[in-house]
Structure 1
């Protein structure tokens, strides 16, 4: 998901240009959501949203909290391959962590990869 504030701002800009009513805004907003945000919306109690501003506030409250937990490059050093974990699974987890870090320096990726895999041919090759 993109930044929830940016997502909401884009939606408001487009919908206000269309001069849509509050009801229309409430009905149109869910069509812009994907995955976790759509699941969150689907699980809202019936009739819990009265106005679009109420929906927007709840959306930002729910998703801004997660967005504010920005990951940093040193967090890659904590990712270790477990004893019974395959290299494939470790690399998927490592890659997923890398994607959560904004402006990730290549050096941080190399350090994380040199530090995380269990002892074996891959870790020896990376160390070289």
Structure 2
């Protein structure tokens, strides 16, 4: 905390973390912003509490003196404290539960499908394509897809 900040230091432009949202997202946002200005570990540790508010800031202020010797230690302690704030990540199995409803337009279903698929980490494009084809309601569009099966989501 005794390391001086650079002379032209400006506060980071990120939303302050209160302990209730995705901690990994906050860490990535913080590191991305701070690395624009410095990679000095001591400065990074000194600036980190300015990215906190509420319960998270209270947690930080209650850390035992000299318990943080570098940024990795701080991130390990922070991650352990707020591990339950990580969102539940969905898998490609969630796509198998999607079905286009009888009264649902293709456009609306494609939007709903896209909203689920973008939340799936490392989604295999072939799995996405297969899931989409299986989820569509029977009709002329699906019949045309059976005759000329697309090889990618872009082609679909």
1:16 Cα offset (Å): 5.8
TM-score (normalizing by structure 1): 0.58
* Match 1:85 to one of 85, 90, 104: 104
Equivalent residue for 1:73?
92
Say yes or no: does 1:60 pair with 2:82: yes
Say yes or no: does 1:8 pair with 2:27: yes
Alpha-carbon deviations, 1:42-64, whole Å to 9, x = none? Answer: xxxxx76762627x68x936641
SS at match of 2:89: coil
Structure 2: runs of 5+ lacking an equivalent: 1-21, 35-40, 62-77, 148-156
* Higher RCO, Cα 8 Å, sep 6+: 1
Equivalent residue for 2:113?
94
Flag as ranges the 4+ runs of structure 1 deviating above 3 A. Answer: 12-16, 18-22, 47-50, 59-63
1:122 Cα offset (Å): 2.1
SS at match of 1:51: helix
Number of corresponding residues: 101
Decide whether the 8 Å contact of 2:89 with 2:119 is kept in 1: yes
Structure 1: runs of 5+ lacking an equivalent: 31-46
Say yes or no: does 1:108 pair with 2:127: yes
Aligned mates of 1:103, 1:9 — CA distance in 2: 18
* Match 2:43 to one of 17, 24, 27: 17
